[in-house]
A and B are shown apart, each in its own frame.
Chain A
Amino acid sequence: DAGVIQSPRHEVTEMGQEVTLRCKPISGHDYLFWYRQTMMRGLELLIYFNNNVPIDDSGMPEDRFSAKMPNASFSTLKIQPSEPRDSAVYFCASKGGGLWEQFFGPGTRLTVL
Protein backbone atom coordinates (compact mmCIF):
# COMPACT_ATOMS: atom_id res chain seq x y z
CA ASP A 1 0.00 0.00 0.00
CA ALA A 2 1.39 3.38 -1.01
CA GLY A 3 -0.08 5.20 1.95
CA VAL A 4 -1.59 8.66 1.77
CA ILE A 5 -0.12 10.63 -1.10
CA GLN A 6 0.14 14.40 -1.14
CA SER A 7 1.34 16.75 -3.82
CA PRO A 8 3.24 18.89 -4.15
CA ARG A 9 5.66 18.30 -1.27
CA HIS A 10 6.77 21.90 -1.39
CA GLU A 11 5.03 24.94 -2.81
CA VAL A 12 6.33 28.48 -2.96
CA THR A 13 4.02 31.15 -4.25
CA GLU A 14 3.45 34.86 -4.09
CA MET A 15 0.77 36.60 -2.12
CA GLY A 16 -2.49 36.79 -4.01
CA GLN A 17 -1.93 33.66 -6.05
CA GLU A 18 -4.21 30.64 -5.96
CA VAL A 19 -2.77 27.52 -4.36
CA THR A 20 -4.12 24.00 -4.73
CA LEU A 21 -2.95 21.14 -2.56
CA ARG A 22 -3.81 17.57 -3.48
CA CYS A 23 -4.36 14.37 -1.58
CA LYS A 24 -4.96 10.76 -2.46
CA PRO A 25 -6.19 8.74 0.53
CA ILE A 26 -5.47 5.09 1.17
CA SER A 27 -7.70 2.94 -1.01
CA GLY A 28 -10.79 1.81 0.88
CA HIS A 29 -10.63 4.54 3.49
CA ASP A 30 -13.85 6.53 3.73
CA TYR A 31 -12.69 9.36 5.97
CA LEU A 32 -10.33 12.11 4.83
CA PHE A 33 -8.92 14.88 6.98
CA TRP A 34 -7.03 18.10 6.22
CA TYR A 35 -4.77 19.51 8.96
CA ARG A 36 -2.57 22.59 9.12
CA GLN A 37 0.60 22.76 11.22
CA THR A 38 2.19 26.06 12.25
CA MET A 39 4.60 27.01 14.99
CA MET A 40 2.07 29.33 16.57
CA ARG A 41 -1.02 27.13 16.50
CA GLY A 42 0.37 23.60 16.26
CA LEU A 43 -1.70 20.98 14.43
CA GLU A 44 -5.24 22.05 13.65
CA LEU A 45 -8.01 20.17 11.91
CA LEU A 46 -9.35 22.22 9.03
CA ILE A 47 -12.04 19.96 7.57
CA TYR A 48 -12.93 16.32 7.22
CA PHE A 49 -14.99 14.26 4.79
CA ASN A 50 -16.90 11.02 5.12
CA ASN A 51 -17.77 9.22 1.90
CA ASN A 52 -16.76 12.33 -0.05
CA VAL A 53 -19.15 14.56 1.89
CA PRO A 54 -17.79 17.39 4.07
CA ILE A 55 -18.83 16.68 7.66
CA ASP A 56 -17.12 19.37 9.69
CA ASP A 57 -15.48 22.45 8.20
CA SER A 58 -15.49 24.52 11.37
CA GLY A 59 -11.70 24.62 11.33
CA MET A 60 -11.45 26.30 7.96
CA PRO A 61 -9.97 29.68 8.82
CA GLU A 62 -11.86 31.85 6.35
CA ASP A 63 -13.60 31.93 3.02
CA ARG A 64 -10.32 32.02 1.16
CA PHE A 65 -9.99 28.32 2.01
CA SER A 66 -12.07 25.68 0.28
CA ALA A 67 -11.86 21.90 0.07
CA LYS A 68 -13.44 19.38 -2.23
CA MET A 69 -13.56 15.64 -2.57
CA PRO A 70 -14.98 14.81 -6.00
CA ASN A 71 -14.42 11.08 -5.57
CA ALA A 72 -13.16 8.53 -3.07
CA SER A 73 -9.57 8.74 -4.25
CA PHE A 74 -8.93 12.46 -4.52
CA SER A 75 -9.28 15.64 -2.51
CA THR A 76 -8.08 19.20 -2.91
CA LEU A 77 -7.52 22.09 -0.55
CA LYS A 78 -7.53 25.44 -2.27
CA ILE A 79 -6.47 28.84 -1.00
CA GLN A 80 -7.52 31.82 -3.06
CA PRO A 81 -6.06 34.38 -2.70
CA SER A 82 -3.10 33.20 -0.64
CA GLU A 83 -1.51 35.33 2.08
CA PRO A 84 1.85 35.08 3.87
CA ARG A 85 0.10 33.96 7.07
CA ASP A 86 -1.09 30.85 5.22
CA SER A 87 2.50 29.59 5.21
CA ALA A 88 2.42 26.25 7.00
CA VAL A 89 2.66 22.51 6.53
CA TYR A 90 -0.64 21.03 5.37
CA PHE A 91 -1.31 17.39 6.13
CA CYS A 92 -3.88 15.07 4.69
CA ALA A 93 -4.90 11.95 6.62
CA SER A 94 -7.33 9.12 6.00
CA LYS A 95 -8.93 6.33 7.96
CA GLY A 96 -11.30 3.45 7.43
CA GLY A 97 -14.76 3.59 8.94
CA GLY A 98 -14.97 1.83 12.28
CA LEU A 99 -11.24 2.13 12.82
CA TRP A 100 -9.58 4.64 15.08
CA GLU A 101 -6.21 5.19 13.44
CA GLN A 102 -5.65 8.05 11.03
CA PHE A 103 -2.84 7.61 8.53
CA PHE A 104 -1.03 10.78 7.63
CA GLY A 105 0.50 11.81 4.35
CA PRO A 106 3.98 13.38 4.18
CA GLY A 107 2.57 16.92 4.17
CA THR A 108 2.91 19.88 1.84
CA ARG A 109 5.10 22.75 2.99
CA LEU A 110 3.53 25.95 1.69
CA THR A 111 5.42 29.22 1.64
CA VAL A 112 3.60 32.36 0.60
CA LEU A 113 5.93 35.28 -0.08
Chain B
Amino acid sequence: AQTVTQSQPEMSVQEAETVTLSCTYDTSENNYYLFWYKQPPSRQMILVIRQEAYKQQNATENRFSVNFQKAAKSFSLKISDSQLGDTAMYFCAFMKHEGGNDMRFGAGTRLTVKP
Protein backbone atom coordinates (compact mmCIF):
# COMPACT_ATOMS: atom_id res chain seq x y z
CA ALA B 1 0.00 0.00 0.00
CA GLN B 2 1.11 3.51 -0.72
CA THR B 3 1.50 6.04 2.07
CA VAL B 4 2.12 9.75 1.88
CA THR B 5 3.69 11.67 4.75
CA GLN B 6 3.73 15.40 5.30
CA SER B 7 5.76 16.05 8.40
CA GLN B 8 5.00 19.76 8.75
CA PRO B 9 1.49 20.33 10.12
CA GLU B 10 1.89 24.11 9.99
CA MET B 11 4.23 26.60 8.38
CA SER B 12 4.34 30.33 7.94
CA VAL B 13 6.20 32.63 5.60
CA GLN B 14 6.49 36.35 5.06
CA GLU B 15 4.91 37.78 1.96
CA ALA B 16 7.32 37.79 -1.01
CA GLU B 17 9.59 35.20 0.60
CA THR B 18 10.12 31.60 -0.45
CA VAL B 19 8.85 28.55 1.41
CA THR B 20 9.29 24.81 0.90
CA LEU B 21 6.76 22.20 1.95
CA SER B 22 7.95 18.63 2.44
CA CYS B 23 6.40 15.37 1.33
CA THR B 24 7.68 11.82 1.37
CA TYR B 25 5.93 8.70 0.14
CA ASP B 26 6.33 4.99 0.24
CA THR B 27 5.64 2.75 -2.74
CA SER B 28 6.96 -0.26 -4.59
CA GLU B 29 5.65 1.09 -7.89
CA ASN B 30 8.10 2.36 -10.49
CA ASN B 31 5.72 4.55 -12.42
CA TYR B 32 3.30 6.92 -10.74
CA TYR B 33 2.08 10.46 -10.43
CA LEU B 34 2.61 12.93 -7.61
CA PHE B 35 0.48 15.99 -6.98
CA TRP B 36 0.22 19.03 -4.80
CA TYR B 37 -3.27 20.30 -4.09
CA LYS B 38 -4.18 23.58 -2.45
CA GLN B 39 -7.27 23.91 -0.25
CA PRO B 40 -8.05 27.52 0.67
CA PRO B 41 -10.66 28.42 3.28
CA SER B 42 -13.32 28.07 0.59
CA ARG B 43 -12.67 24.30 0.85
CA GLN B 44 -12.22 23.90 -2.89
CA MET B 45 -9.46 21.45 -3.83
CA ILE B 46 -7.24 23.07 -6.45
CA LEU B 47 -4.50 21.26 -8.31
CA VAL B 48 -1.26 23.22 -8.02
CA ILE B 49 1.26 21.03 -9.78
CA ARG B 50 1.91 17.45 -10.82
CA GLN B 51 4.93 15.29 -11.58
CA GLU B 52 5.22 12.05 -13.51
CA ALA B 53 7.71 9.71 -11.90
CA TYR B 54 9.31 8.78 -15.22
CA LYS B 55 10.27 12.39 -15.85
CA GLN B 56 13.53 13.49 -14.31
CA GLN B 57 12.88 17.17 -14.87
CA ASN B 58 11.18 18.89 -11.99
CA ALA B 59 7.76 20.35 -12.77
CA THR B 60 7.26 24.10 -12.61
CA GLU B 61 4.10 26.20 -12.72
CA ASN B 62 4.79 29.90 -12.42
CA ARG B 63 5.78 30.54 -8.78
CA PHE B 64 5.38 26.87 -7.85
CA SER B 65 8.05 24.26 -8.43
CA VAL B 66 8.85 20.84 -7.07
CA ASN B 67 12.00 19.02 -6.05
CA PHE B 68 11.37 15.40 -7.00
CA GLN B 69 13.89 12.92 -5.65
CA LYS B 70 12.73 9.49 -6.81
CA ALA B 71 15.37 7.45 -5.03
CA ALA B 72 14.65 9.22 -1.77
CA LYS B 73 10.90 9.14 -2.43
CA SER B 74 10.69 12.81 -1.71
CA PHE B 75 8.49 15.41 -3.41
CA SER B 76 8.75 18.91 -1.95
CA LEU B 77 6.90 22.02 -3.11
CA LYS B 78 8.61 25.37 -3.34
CA ILE B 79 6.54 28.53 -3.44
CA SER B 80 8.46 31.58 -4.54
CA ASP B 81 7.42 35.19 -3.99
CA SER B 82 4.70 34.08 -1.57
CA GLN B 83 1.42 35.95 -1.78
CA LEU B 84 -1.35 36.37 0.76
CA GLY B 85 -3.59 34.31 -1.49
CA ASP B 86 -1.28 31.34 -1.04
CA THR B 87 -2.57 30.93 2.50
CA ALA B 88 -4.21 27.50 2.50
CA MET B 89 -3.85 23.84 3.37
CA TYR B 90 -1.53 22.03 0.98
CA PHE B 91 -1.89 18.32 0.32
CA CYS B 92 0.61 16.03 -1.30
CA ALA B 93 -0.95 13.09 -3.17
CA PHE B 94 0.18 9.90 -4.91
CA MET B 95 -1.46 7.90 -7.68
CA LYS B 96 -0.24 4.77 -9.45
CA HIS B 97 0.20 5.05 -13.19
CA GLU B 98 -1.03 1.58 -14.12
CA GLY B 99 -4.56 0.90 -13.00
CA GLY B 100 -4.34 3.78 -10.62
CA ASN B 101 -7.41 5.84 -10.06
CA ASP B 102 -7.46 6.31 -6.34
CA MET B 103 -5.26 9.03 -4.96
CA ARG B 104 -3.59 8.74 -1.57
CA PHE B 105 -3.27 12.02 0.27
CA GLY B 106 -0.96 13.21 2.98
CA ALA B 107 -2.30 14.81 6.14
CA GLY B 108 -1.67 18.29 4.83
CA THR B 109 0.38 21.34 5.77
CA ARG B 110 -1.34 24.54 6.81
CA LEU B 111 0.55 27.45 5.25
CA THR B 112 0.05 31.00 6.43
CA VAL B 113 1.50 33.88 4.46
CA LYS B 114 2.04 36.90 6.69
CA PRO B 115 1.92 40.47 5.40
Contact = CB atoms under 8 A, between A and B. Distances in A.
Chain B interface size range: 10 to 19
B95 A42 contact: no
Contacts of B95: 100
B16 interface: no
Majority SS of interface residues in chain B?
A: loop
Interface string A48-79: 10100001100100000000000000000000
Given A42-B106, A42-B108, A100-B50, A91 B45 contact: yes
Contacts of B104: 45
A67 B53 CA distance: 33
B47 A101 contact: yes
Interface residues of A, number: 22
Contacts of B101: 31, 33, 48, 50, 55-56, 95
Interface in B40-81: 42-45, 47, 50
Interface of A: 31, 33, 42-45, 48, 50, 55-56, 59, 89, 91, 93, 95, 100-102, 104, 106-107, 109
